[in-house]
Homo-oligomer: A and B are copies of this chain.
């Protein structure tokens, strides 16, 4: 640590802590990035305090490399909460985290924030508005004075998260099971789900699973061909709904969110079942947002999470629904969460950063 200790410019540190990665960013008051770090997932929910703290220490250490930690005046840490988004004092694993700051040589205030507020700040510099997030989970919040004023859903995969990636993946599997059980209509999703779960055997509507070469993008059967129930020629052992259950239950339930992209593939093929699922997801998400946003609101709406920031069928439907309900609202996607944490730290530490500072901060994305 050979950085200057006197007259060092004031710095702030922002962290975007998720279940699969932790990102840290250090910047000056002018929004110039001077350090960055990336480490493994750092969310204590699921990983436990020790692993979470280790990941955070790793990312912070990288970001502060060559810098004077005493120059850091404010830290904002955004934490993906899933079921419970912690904010302020309500912080689990607080002791383990406190040791991270201590060992890094930081003595400034540390503000913990839910990832929903960070995502809002990542989409707008306005102090008031709404955030709708659909990634692995789903949540909407109302923001006032750049703080969470109300929240809807965000209740986790078991009891909520309607319209989330988990919800979409689960619906895709349920639709495939219904077809395999002979209780639901044929759908392109069946072959896609079987392939994604790495199950061999015969896929309804195809001659065998071998039409999906390993490592290649799955070739969806057309709705017409998947309606033919009796494939000709020798086939592998048929896949049953219970095989899907076994494959899904062998993994942590949130992994179902990994199947969400199948909806886009199926919708692109004109699959009615997939389109119906996307319709329901969008309706759920619009209802979740409506619970925290008045019908006359004209403040910005920030969209966050992979389901809403990528060009997915659900995102398209949600945007249409929002344009109908709130025609005057600006709808923007959330950008880099670590940059947003830094931006919030600058705002909390001193004055609201200027548009130029904001542009500088967000101009180089550290998002993967």
Give me the interface of A with B, judged by CB distance under 8 Å: 83-84, 152, 154-156, 158-160, 170, 173-174, 177, 181-183, 241-242, 244-246, 248-249, 253, 291
Contact = CB atoms under 8 A, between A and B. Distances in A.
Given A84-B246, A158-B170, A159-B244, 9 more contacts: A83-B249, A152-B183, A155-B241, A155-B245, A156-B249, A158-B249, A159-B170, A159-B174, A160-B245
A177 B84 CA distance: 13
Contact of A245 (B152, B159, B170, B174): B159
Contact of A158 (B83, B159, B253): B253
A159 B177 contact: yes
A62 B52 CA distance: 49
Given A156-B245, A159-B174, A181 B291 contact: yes
Contacts of A253: 158, 253
A181 B152 CA distance: 7
Contacts of A158: 170, 245, 248-249, 253
A42 to B, nearest CB: 19
- This protein's copies in its complex: 2
A155 B159 CA distance: 18
A160 B171 CA distance: 11
Contacts of A84: 242, 245-246
Question: Which label, helix, strand, loop or mixed, suits the secondary structure of the A interface?
Answer: helix
Nearest to A246: B84
Given A83-B242, A83-B245, A84-B245, A160 B183 contact: no
Given A84-B242, A242-B83, A242-B84, A248 B181 contact: no
B291 A183 contact: yes
Contact of A159 (B154, B156, B248): B248
Nearest to A176: B159
Contacts of A177: 155, 159-160
Contacts of A154: 242
Given A83-B249, A181-B291, A246-B84, A173 B159 contact: yes
A170 B174 CA distance: 18
14 contacts: A83-B242, A83-B245, A83-B246, A84-B242, A152-B183, A154-B242, A155-B241, A155-B242, A158-B245, A158-B253, A159-B244, A160-B177, A160-B245, A181-B291
Contacts of A152: 181, 183
Contacts of A83: 242, 245-246, 249
Nearest to A154: B242
A83 B245 CA distance: 7
A242 B86 CA distance: 10
A152 B152 CA distance: 35
A197 B253 CA distance: 22
A262 to B, nearest CB: 15
Nearest to A155: B245
